[in-house]
Amino acid sequence: MSVQGVLNSYEKCNKCQKSSFAGGHMKEIKRDIYLNRLIRRRENGLIKVITGIRRSGKSYLLDPIFRNYLLSEGIREDHIIKIELDRESNRRYYHDPHAFDQYIRSFVKDEQMYYIILDEIQLVDDFEYILNGLLYEKILMFT
């Protein structure tokens, strides 16, 4: 499916097209420029870091927009790993990078490429060592 096809599918979706806000309607902000940048750099061997101000749509760009693009390109669902580190259930990894590394690796079942979406990765001590290790093992990730 083309990038435009993915974006068009969002426009048709009621949930994504309009949402109530203070009694009015707010249309979804398209992120096709950023999506295209991710797609062009998808397999360049580097970790992708999405930065921006709070509540600007960084996580939304990766999931569902980029996630749905990957699925439309034939990437299997179980090869897209998303971990939200700002959730209470993941606080145990903040000061235990070894446990976090093992947790990520528990999802990896074969030699194919995996896409890892890590939201709020900066909360984990020494996260850069974990990411570098996964990168060198040819596991592609987004954070």
Predicted confidence (pLDDT) per residue in 132-142, tens digit: 999 888 776 65
Alpha-carbon span 122 to 50, nearest angstrom: 12
For 39, phi and psi rounded to 5 degrees? -65, -45
- Residue 87 included in any domain: yes
Facing residues of 26 across strands?
19
Write out the H or E segment, with its range, that includes residue 21. strand 18-21
Looking only at the bridges linking them, the beta strands covering 18-21 and 80-84 are: unpaired
Query: Which range of residues forms the domain containing residue 51?
Result: 44-142
pLDDT digits (tens, 9 = 90+) for 57-99: 999 999 999 999 999 999 999 999 999 999 999 999 999 999 9
Residue 54 in any domain: the answer is yes
Q: Which residue has the higher pLDDT, 131 or 30?
A: 131
Residue 95 domain flag: yes
Please give the tally of structural domains in the chain.
1
Q: What gap in Å lies between CA 12 and CA 21, rounded to an integer?
A: 19
Q: Is residue 4 part of a domain?
A: no
